[in-house]
Amino acid sequence: MSEAIKKLVALQRVDDELARARVELAELPGLREAAEARRAESLEALEEARDAVRAHELEQRTFESGLSDAEERKRHLEGQSSQVKSNEAYTALLQEIEDAQRSIGEMEDKILEAMDVLEAAREALAVSEQRAAEAGASADGELARLAGRQAELDKDVERLVGARDVAAEALDPEVRRRYFKVVEKRRPALAVVTKEVCTGCRVGIPPQDFVDLLSAEDIVQCRTCKRILVHADGLAGEG
């Protein structure tokens, strides 16, 4: 393998690593948002569960107060029975007492139903509390992990930019220019040639280009994908 290709391979290694680190860095804000969104979602569900319990508690208190009103009314009507003068008035009073008794029965039924509903809402609230606690802990863990990764990647990028500059500086300016021109459009910028085919784009290499590639005097680019070609034999042992 020619010196130029060796240097290009070295540049590509560090440059691709740098590109990967930058891609990962760019993904971090989205991952942070997703972790926060999962936390917010669980808190929203918790708030809804709390609202449901409050609503059912209020409903139960309304029925209890309705029961106590009906009981009070019944006691009041019963207290009037000794003062009733006529049969008609007495029949009417009995009817009113019966109505009050029916209201009492209805309220008692509603209270029992509301207790069941309230019980279910409290159980759902307990589940939501558990889930919110888990989601919160998981979000905290994820955010801490992402912060750690961010710090690592920032350091990697700093190191790799330096290493890439050194590797690029070692190249002939024209070769360097051609590498960076290719890498703007596609990675990796180098493509191995096996069986006279560019493995970057799977298109065959014209015979003259293949001869040039074997002579390794100048760098040869694929006519189709523009990648800089490296002969497979030349790459053996270079990693």
The minimum distance between CB 229 and Zn ion, in angstroms, equals 8
Among 25, 201, 216, 235, binds Zn ion (CB under 5 A): 201
Question: Does 10 help bind Zn ion (rule: CB under 5 A)?
Answer: no
Give the position of tokens 């008609």. 88
In whole angstroms, the minimum distance from the beta carbon of 199 to Zn ion comes to 8
Answer yes or no whether residue 67 interacts with Zn ion by CB under 5 A.
no
| Minimum distance from residue 233 beta carbon to Zn ion (Å) | 18
Supply the minimum distance, in Å, between the C-beta of residue 191 and Zn ion: 5
Q: Which range touches Zn ion (CB under 5 A), out of 5-13, 139-147, 165-173, 200-208?
A: 200-208
Number of residues assigned to the chain = 239
User: Residue 228 and residue 225: Cα distance in Å, rounded?
Assistant: 9
Q: Which DSSP helix (H) or strand (E) runs through 180?
A: helix 173-185
Rule CB under 5 A: is residue 182 a binding residue for Zn ion? no
Whether residue 173 is preceded by a cis peptide bond, meaning omega within 30 degrees of 0, is no
Task: Output the CA angle 63-65-66, nearest 5 degrees.
Answer: 60
Q: Which is nearer to Zn ion, 77 or 198 (CB)?
A: 198
Shortest Å distance, C-beta 213 to Zn ion? 12
CA distance 187 to 153: 20
Query: What are the C-alpha distances in Å from 149 to residues 14, 17, 18, 25, 28?
Result: 19, 15, 15, 9, 9
Q: Which residue from 1, 43, 84, 225 is in contact with Zn ion, where contact means CB under 5 A?
A: 225
Q: Segment contacting Zn ion (CB under 5 A): 100-108, 127-135, 154-162, 201-209?
A: 201-209
Task: Return the SS3 of 83.
Answer: helix
* Contact status: 224 vs Zn ion (CB under 5 A): yes
DSSP 133-175: HHHHHHHHHHHHHHHHHHHHHHHHHHHHHHHHHHHHHTS-HHH
**Residue corresponding to tokens 């691709």:** 16
Site for Zn ion in 106-145 (CB under 5 A): none
192 binds Zn ion per the rule CB under 5 A? no
Of the candidates 70, 74, 200, 205, which one interacts with Zn ion according to CB under 5 A? 200
Residue 197 in the binding site for Zn ion (CB under 5 A) = no
Q: Could you tell me which stretch among 102-110, 128-136, 159-167, 215-223 binds Zn ion (CB under 5 A)?
A: 215-223
Report the C-alpha gap between 18 and 156 in whole angstroms.
Answer: 8
* Of 39 and 227, CB closest to Zn ion: 227
Q: Kindly state the smallest distance separating residue 204's Cβ from Zn ion, in Å.
A: 9
Which residues form the interface with Zn ion (CB under 5 A)? Answer: 198, 200-201, 222, 224-225, 227
